[in-house]
Structure 1
Amino acid sequence: MSEFYAKAAFSFLIAFGVVIGGALLAGMGSVLLWTPPKDKMLIVADNLKIWALVAAVGGTIDPIRVIESHMLEGYLSPAMQQIGYILFAFLGAHMGTSLIQWMCHTGG
């Protein structure tokens, strides 16, 4: 079961890193282009959320196939593991987006 926790942690951290890294680099790029970084960072963080999820779970349709094939055969454990990885990846992407929103909050 420790393998599950390791993969779940990696899914979380990859999704979190994609959102944070993409938004921060977009902010740096907008500074270089003399545009407000706050607006661009918020937009990019929101747009990267789904792509971070895809990147964290492998970037292919394989996790969905695993869920489908195992559920149809009656094996719930592998399907639940894949759903867990997807949930951890979503949580990482959501927390990354929330952190960017918090960083860009001006208090007004």
Structure 2
Amino acid sequence: MAPRVAPLLALSLLVLWTSPAPALGGANDAEDCCLSVTQRPIPGNIVKAFRYLLLKDGCRVPAVVFTTLRGHQLCAPPDQPWVDRIIRRLKKSSTKSKRHSS
């Protein structure tokens, strides 16, 4: 019987460990939080949008979530220069599109 209990216990612990942290009164649902961030630069040309998920939002890992053209969401560290470059480019293109649509 013991050999059957070990895999079940391991699975239960894995589910608990990977479950999102409960929100601490933040605006975002806990499910929106990133569990980790990539240190590897994301190509800016595949990104169409971004949003911040910070400690004050109830997340354990502060992150910028980039949404790709294909709809994937990638978590990046907010303090990296390559992240700032992508955000500046997105803001600049957003400003241009707003001017053209007016």
TM-score, length of structure 2 as denominator length: 0.31
Larger relative helix fraction: 1
Larger relative strand fraction: 2
TM-score, length of structure 1 as denominator length: 0.29
Bigger relative CO (Cα 8 Å, ≥ 6 apart): 1
